[in-house]
Structure 1
Amino acid sequence: MTVIYILNGPNLNLLGQREPEVYGHDTLASIEAMCRAKAKGLGLDIVFRQTNIEGELVNHIHEAREKAKGLVINAGAYTHTSVALHDAVKAVGLPTIEVHLSNVYKREAFRHHSYLSPVAEGVICGFGPQSYELALEGLAAILKKKGKA
């Protein structure tokens, strides 16, 4: 089965509690369950992880190079600050979809810049938890087109 890594960055472990007016009431566990169901329907298997530590995200991306065919990443605030994540995604060369629950372009100006977007196949933001499902659909289509699914 085709494996996809879904990686989540800082503070996403607080989903459902943190700023529900921005991020909604779904927990990361409920998003993981939704992703597992969606992935199964697409013939994919997922590895779903969250960390608040930038270097751990880099390590997960490196691990995916050997074990996965693609990445979905919600790097949280690291999206806007991390050259290290940019370099890691670029180095592993896996098709990557950047995801955000909120529409970052309706928020503070500092959130309008992403270090990941230049090395991602696509960006999905503003659809809440459905952003992850859309990312999985997009990644499945990309892999199928490349003959890697």
Structure 2
Amino acid sequence: MVKPIHVLSGPNLNLLGTREPEIYGKDTLDDVRARCKARAAVRGLSVVFRQSNHEGALIDWVQEARTEACALVINPAGYGHTSIALLDALKTLNIPVIECHLSNPAAREDFRRHTYVSLAATGIVSGFGAASYELAIEAAAGLVGAN
């Protein structure tokens, strides 16, 4: 049996749909979860979908992905710009890592234009709203050779 794709979402993403919808869209995190699961299912894969506002929880889940996932999709949110600890955890993975952002960080404030996560990512999907997650699932599926 193929291991699932782990999808991790960082701080404040639990507020999707209500927090700055002009930037992040109106889809809720539950909507995003459903879209990810549906996209993965088309490729014969499953998804473990998690969100935390706590850096340590995200790091624990990255470490878990070392043995439990075929690929990792991560939207680090604000931690992407600040967390060397998250980068260090990601660098321990031997699976594809897709960094995902709802907005396009390169088109936003200067401090958002650099993410530490990018240094460990296989690829980056950004700027497509909730569809960024689906595109990241598709990329991960392709990298692991799913249908």
TM over 0.5: yes
1:87 aligns with: 88
1:8 aligns with: 9
Which AA in structure 1 matches 2:36?
C
> Which SS does the other structure have where 1:44 is aligned?
coil
2:40 aligns with: 39
Give 1:92 deviation, angstroms. Answer: 2.3
Give 1:94 deviation, angstroms. Answer: 1.9
Percent identical residues: 52
2:126 aligns with: 125
- Structure 1: which 5+ residue stretches go unaligned? none
Give 1:2 deviation, angstroms. Answer: 3.2
- Structure 2: which 5+ residue stretches go unaligned? none
Contact map agreement 1:2 1:43 (CA 8 A) in 2: no
Counterpart Cα distance in 2 of 1:48 and 1:108: 28
Counterpart Cα distance in 2 of 1:61 and 1:23: 24
Runs of 4+ more than 4 Å apart: none
Larger fraction in helix: 1
Counterpart Cα distance in 2 of 1:28 and 1:66: 25
Structure 1 residues 20-72: Cα deviation after superposition (integer angstroms, max 9, x where no partner): 11001000000000111001001111100000000100000011111111100
Q: CA RMSD in A?
A: 1.2
Where in structure 2 are the equivalents of 1:1-149 lying within 5 Å? 1-144=2-145
Count of aligned residue pairs for this structure pair: 146
Counterpart Cα distance in 2 of 1:111 and 1:62: 25
Counterpart Cα distance in 1 of 2:36 and 2:143: 17
Give 1:93 deviation, angstroms. Answer: 2.3
Which AA in structure 2 matches 1:40?
A
Counterpart Cα distance in 2 of 1:2 and 1:68: 5
Q: TM-score, normalised by structure 1?
A: 0.95
